Amino acid sequence: MAVARAKRLPPLHLSSLNVPARAALPEPAFRPAQNAPQSGSTPLARPSHQFRLADFEKLAVLGRGNGGTVYKVRHRDTGALYALKVPHSNQCDAAAATTEADVLSRTASPFVIRCHAVLPMATPGDAALLLELADGGSLDALVGRRAGGPFPEAALAEVAAQALSGLAHLHARRVAHLDVKPANLLVNDKGEVKLADFGVARVLARAGDLCASNAGTAAYMSPERFDPEARGGGGFFDPCAADVWGLGVTVLELLVGRYPLLPAGQRPDWAALMCAICFGDAPAVPDGVEASPEFRSFVAACLRKDYRQRASVAELLAHPFVAGRDVAASRRALRELLVVVA
């Protein structure tokens, strides 16, 4: 357990329980995305290269994390609304912002948050990201507002379908997210789910390449990420399979209403997470929680401990829980969920 011995993290909220990143890989410069789909944000008022930070008025803090602060902002001239991600002033966060900008420049999907512009800051090398505004917030916040109440399965099927579509888009472009969790799945008032926060993502040289990054949120890491040497990876793991595990934990958490891999009330410190993920039983719907056979099968396919037996994104998109859903009813259930907790 080389990774476990190297670092013990203090008890923290799950959304911020991160494993330190290794040395950042060199990343290419930002390139504007071509043919990006329409997003929930107001359309750009003028070409992105003409935007300045001074053009925007901060309205509210949407979230704070290890990588920086995200604000809801308004363009002073047009009134257009966006999210502005401002990194902390340190080298690691600047590198994460560069990674995120590069990844988002490669994508043009309605299931991935859109980056409108990269705005230079006063400190050389630092930049803020002008992002599409997902006004429904994160699924993590939605769980909190529901006070632990479970998501209806119809809404969960839509969340899974849209998140898988986003992962399929990324993986086809050799991008692995590596931090799939409720806090990084955003939703707008139309019920559109979007993958966000690509600060620890990796762009692979070739499709099928393995990865050795230990950056991300420990609670949503797969067993082979905790200890790749002991699990047949020779120190490396399949990053696409790791994304599937994160999605499986996420969907299960939305059903249960709390982090599902530890008993209710147990603090998610490093040792507890390592024991549960690496040495505990395969995660499943807890006793006493109602779930359909299709949901149970879907979660089991996502959370097989051997990554070589874990379902792929393509297989999960064809799974009866996703492919067999009533699309109209599923989307309506997700939109209604947003209205109920607003």
SS3 for 74? strand
Query: What pairs with residue 4 in β-bridges?
Result: none
As a whole number of angstroms, the distance between CA 221 and CA 247 comes to 10
As a whole number of angstroms, the distance between CA 116 and CA 304 comes to 37
As a whole number of angstroms, the distance between CA 103 and CA 117 comes to 13
- β-pair type (175-176, 127-131): unpaired
As a whole number of angstroms, the distance between CA 252 and CA 100 comes to 27
- Residue 55 appears among annotated catalytic residues: no
305 belongs to an annotated ligand binding site: no
- β-pair type (68-75, 56-65): antiparallel
**What's the token pair of residue 148?**
């632990």
Provide the 8-state DSSP code for 277: I
As a whole number of angstroms, the distance between CA 138 and CA 121 comes to 26
User: Taking a C-beta distance cutoff of 8 angstroms, is the pair 112, 156 a contact?
Assistant: no
Count CA atoms closer than 13 A to 15's CA, side-chain side.
Answer: 17
As a whole number of angstroms, the distance between CA 191 and CA 332 comes to 8
Query: What pairs with residue 216 in β-bridges?
Result: 19
Query: What pairs with residue 237 in β-bridges?
Result: 211
As a whole number of angstroms, the distance between CA 15 and CA 320 comes to 30
Query: How big is the chain by its Cα radius of gyration, in Å?
Result: 19
Q: Which of 55, 179, 227, 243 is catalytic?
A: 179
From the annotation, which residues make up the binding site? 85
From the annotation, which residues make up the binding site for ATP? 85
As annotated, the active-site residues are 179
